[in-house]
Amino acid sequence: MAELGIPDFETPHDCAKRQEKMVTRLAARAKGRVLQRLAQCMASECDSEPCSGACHFAMRRHRLALIPAAHDLFQKRGRKHQVNIVHPSWRKRYKHLNRASPETAKQWVRRRLEKLDGKILAVGSFEVTLNVELDGTRHWAGEIVMIVAGATKRELKRVLELRPADKKRLQPQAKPMQILRVRDLGRQLGYANKRISSNGSPISTGKIARIGVTCRWLERIRMQ
């Protein structure tokens, strides 16, 4: 991964520490087969396949396969952009994280990208972040982060722009959409498919959805 510009990619040791910490915390509140299996997972293999989306080891192996494969595909394409989208409909109240729907967000993006002409390649993820407002209220904010090739910045903005009514539902300081030029493909692919947030905390487990499913290990949108 260092050759792709990700020298600080999580190590098996990192995953082991996070997995142990997660299992210990969950054991105080829940019991079951999934928790028992998570305690048996290792860097090379898991107790069951496919493993839970909460498993740090399984997600690391997934990313180890996905990112290099996606990098090879994007290298053959022209101009590329990183797109970050926050939609108010993906926002969920605190203690209602289970109602977040990665599939809904994925379909929202797919329908809009299908409006573009030409071949579109997109790889990314859906993640949720706990936001705390100045008044102390908390909510989960859903966001799509993806790398897209096959469209200009203007075209992406045209099809992905939120409606005025949706923008009004966001906080005044919110940035519903950001489109950035890809200058470090490996690093930005790693960010778009990250497992750990920028502050070092694990992304909420079980709420990651890749954009466009065509196979288990390389999930993408390819429109002819």
pLDDT digits (tens, 9 = 90+) for 112-168: 999 988 788 999 888 888 888 788 888 888 899 999 999 999 999 999 999 888 888
For 144, phi then psi, to 5°, come to: -100, 130
How would residue 189 be classed by pLDDT, with cut points 50, 70 and 90? very high
Ordered DSSP codes for 10-40: PPHHHHHHHHHHHHHHHHTT--SHHHHHHHH
Q: What is the pLDDT of residue 26?
A: 82
Contact predicate 85/125, CB 8 Å: no
77-87 pLDDT, tens digit per residue, is: 888 999 999 99
Q: Which helix (H) or strand (E) holds 122?
A: strand 121-132
Question: Residue 154's CB: how many other CB atoms inside 10 A?
Answer: 8
Query: From CA 87, how far away is CA 105, in angstroms rounded?
Result: 9
Question: Structure pTM?
Answer: 0.79
Nearest one of 117, 100, 121 to 159, comparing CA atoms: 117
Q: Which amino acid is at 194?
A: K
Q: What is the mean pLDDT of the chain?
A: 81
Q: What is the pLDDT of residue 180?
A: 95
Q: How far is CA 104 from the centre of its chain?
A: 14
